[in-house]
């Protein structure tokens, strides 16, 4: 039961905005409503929301459902298709103290920066009624040093390996997802070794084993408590063995001609999916919708999903309530409802946004979910198990998203420009120092 229906594009793609991002920048609040646009008038409570990408609340009708159940509430949601545009506007509004919504979406790559620099602008949601159901590591991402919680978790991005059964078969590798998972069980270096076997035995030298080394790098680092920063906010990527080992293995994949040299979501990657130019990709749960759309109907059933060597997370978001909101209590009630297990399970069933709620992970519509496109893969079980393997604490830093992108660019120097791993590391180090030093 509970087969996921792909109705909307993943947030990784620039979604069609429900309203123009310009509307987010301008804001719609009046002076009599605290500048958020929300307030109470004539027996009605208006709550405004600033969202991005496909968080799903408006698109799936959840906001309409809430208003139907609460006829005295009116919800006005502005949705920016591009998260970067959204966050730039949010920073502007936070600095100006005006133009904010009652509820603001927070992307994981921005969570630490907002927790450190803007926590006083957000309502503390720690201990709010009915909010003890989240995965521990999810809430740790928006918890300040003094234990203030600036948001409640929406989705997450537990990771697996998506692979082409037909391409594995023609290279003499197993195709059953259980057997495939055993190829690299417990160790990402085994995934690279499987790639070397694939390269040696493949009957088509135009097909690479994996799309890019950066996907491998991300999967390796995000399965650990600390990546680029320590708990004190100090940059540790230069000495952290987790990052060094991930760079070494990803570089090995790049220099061993195991990749198609296609960075995920960059030009060339979508055609690579459609034209079968690579046999596997490290995939967070939210990526499945994108793969099935871009690989197209002709490749339905050829793709499958296998458990990754180690649980890791890439992506996710939160909903925070602004301290300046004149309807804080009502906004908190709405956020708690939208992130409750039942709503998280519904969003997964409708659009594939994977729940951050431990309770939702045990619900039949999640546990029993299978994907028709990915050969009937039990995606609820595979991604749910990966989510539970992630350490209870995830240490983020202010520039986590920026640093991740810089490392991806650094690995591209090896893949696409022929730079040595040492040269690429030096360039990456300089870029990080400039961006986050």
Are residues 287 and 163 part of one domain? yes
Residue 8 lies in a domain: no
> How many CB atoms are located within 10 Å of the residue 40 CB?
13
Residue 56 lies in a domain: yes
Rounded-to-integer distance, Cα 252 and Cα 256, Å: 6
Are residues 120 and 82 part of one domain? yes
pLDDT at position 181 over 80 = yes
Query: What does the pLDDT read at residue 377?
Result: 98
Are residues 331 and 187 part of one domain? no
Q: Is 231 exposed, middle or buried (0-12, 13-18, 19+ CB in 10 A)?
A: exposed
Rounded-to-integer distance, Cα 174 and Cα 172, Å: 7
pLDDT at position 171 over 60 = yes
Are residues 221 and 146 part of one domain? no
Residue 288 lies in a domain: yes
Query: What does the pLDDT read at residue 108?
Result: 92
Residue 88 lies in a domain: yes
Are residues 216 and 191 part of one domain? yes
DSSP annotation string for 314-366? EEEEEEEEBTT-TTHHHHHHHHHHHTSHHHHHHHHHHH-PEE-BHHHHTSHHH
Residue scoring higher pLDDT (164 or 203): 164
Are residues 91 and 114 part of one domain? yes
Query: What does the pLDDT read at residue 21?
Result: 36
Are residues 199 and 127 part of one domain? no
Are residues 202 and 109 part of one domain? no
- For 237-272, the pLDDT digits (tens) are 999 999 999 999 999 999 999 999 998 888 899 999
Rounded-to-integer distance, Cα 110 and Cα 130, Å: 25
Residue 4 lies in a domain: no
Are residues 277 and 136 part of one domain? no
Q: Sign of the C-alpha dihedral, residues 413, 202, 221, 352?
A: positive
Q: Based on the structure, what is the number of domains in the chain? A: 2
Q: Which two tokens stand for residue 118?
A: 């803007």
- For 353-399, the pLDDT digits (tens) are 999 999 999 999 999 999 999 999 999 999 999 999 998 888 888 88
- The residue range of the domain holding 327 is 21-155+315-367
Angle, helix 213-221 to helix 188-201, in steps of 10 degrees: 160
Low-confidence winner among 75-79, 181-185, 192-196, 220-224 (lowest mean pLDDT): 220-224
Its pTM surpasses 0.95 = no
Are residues 320 and 299 part of one domain? no
The CATH code of the domain that includes 417 is 3.40.190.10
Contacts of 293 (CB under 8 A, 6+ apart): 6, 9
Residue 378 lies in a domain: no
Q: Which two tokens stand for residue 145?
A: 């040093």
Rounded-to-integer distance, Cα 410 and Cα 156, Å: 26
Query: What does the pLDDT read at residue 394?
Result: 83
Residue 329 lies in a domain: yes
Across the range 161-178, mean pLDDT stands at 97
Residue 7 lies in a domain: no
Query: What does the pLDDT read at residue 129?
Result: 67
Are residues 323 and 304 part of one domain? no
Are residues 115 and 26 part of one domain? yes
> Biggest alpha carbon distance in the chain?
73
């Amino acid at each position: 039961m509970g087969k996921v229906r792909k109705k909307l594009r993943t947030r990784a793609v620039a979604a069609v905005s429900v309203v123009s991002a310009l509307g987010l920048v301008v804001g719609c609040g009046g002076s009599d409503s605290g500048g958020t646009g929300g307030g109470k008038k004539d027996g009605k409570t208006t709550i405004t929301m600033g969202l991005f990408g496909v968080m799903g609340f408006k698109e799936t009708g959840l906001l309409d459902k809430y208003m139907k159940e609460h006829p005295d509430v009116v919800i006005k949601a502005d949705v920016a298709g591009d998260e970067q545009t959204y966050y730039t506007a949010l920073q502007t509004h936070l600095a100006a103290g005006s133009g904010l919504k009652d509820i603001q979406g927070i992307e994981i790559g921005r969570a630490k920066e907002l927790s450190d620099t803007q926590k006083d602008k957000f309502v503390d949601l720690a201990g709010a009624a009915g909010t003890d159901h989240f995965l521990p590591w999810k809430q740790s991402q928006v918890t300040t040093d003094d234990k203030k919680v600036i948001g409640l978790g929406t989705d997450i991005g537990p990771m697996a390996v998506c692979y082409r059964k037909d391409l594995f078969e023609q290279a003499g590798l197993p195709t059953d997802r259980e057997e495939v998972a055993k190829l690299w069980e417990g160790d990402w270096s085994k995934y690279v070794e499987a790639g070397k076997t694939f390269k040696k035995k493949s009957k088509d030298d135009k097909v690479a084993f994996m799309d890019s080394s950066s996907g491998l790098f991300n999967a390796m680092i995000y399965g650990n408590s600390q990546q680029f920063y320590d708990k004190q906010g100090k940059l540790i990527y230069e000495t952290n063995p987790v990052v060094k080992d991930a760079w070494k293995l990803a570089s090995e994949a790049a220099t061993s001609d195991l990749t198609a040299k296609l960075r995920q979501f960059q030009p060339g990657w979508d055609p690579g999916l459609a034209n079968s130019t690579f046999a596997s990709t490290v995939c967070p749960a939210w990526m499945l919708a994108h793969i099935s759309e871009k690989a197209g109907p002709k490749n339905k059933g050829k793709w499958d999903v296998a458990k990754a060597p180690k649980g890791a997370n890439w992506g996710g978001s939160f909903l925070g309530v602004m301290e300046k909101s004149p309807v804080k209590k009502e906004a908190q009630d709405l956020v708690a409802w939208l992130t409750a297990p039942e709503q998280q399970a519904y969003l997964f069933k409708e659009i594939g946004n994977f729940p951050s709620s431990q309770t939702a992970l045990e619900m039949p519509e999640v546990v029993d979910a299978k994907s028709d496109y990915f050969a009937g893969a039990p995606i609820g079980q595979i991604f749910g198990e990966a989510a539970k393997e992630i350490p209870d604490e995830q240490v983020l830093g202010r520039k986590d998203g920026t640093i991740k992108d810089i490392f991806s660019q650094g690995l591209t120097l090896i893949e696409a420009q022929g730079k040595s791993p040492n040269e690429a590391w030096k360039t990456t180090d300089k870029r990080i120092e400039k961006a986050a030093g």
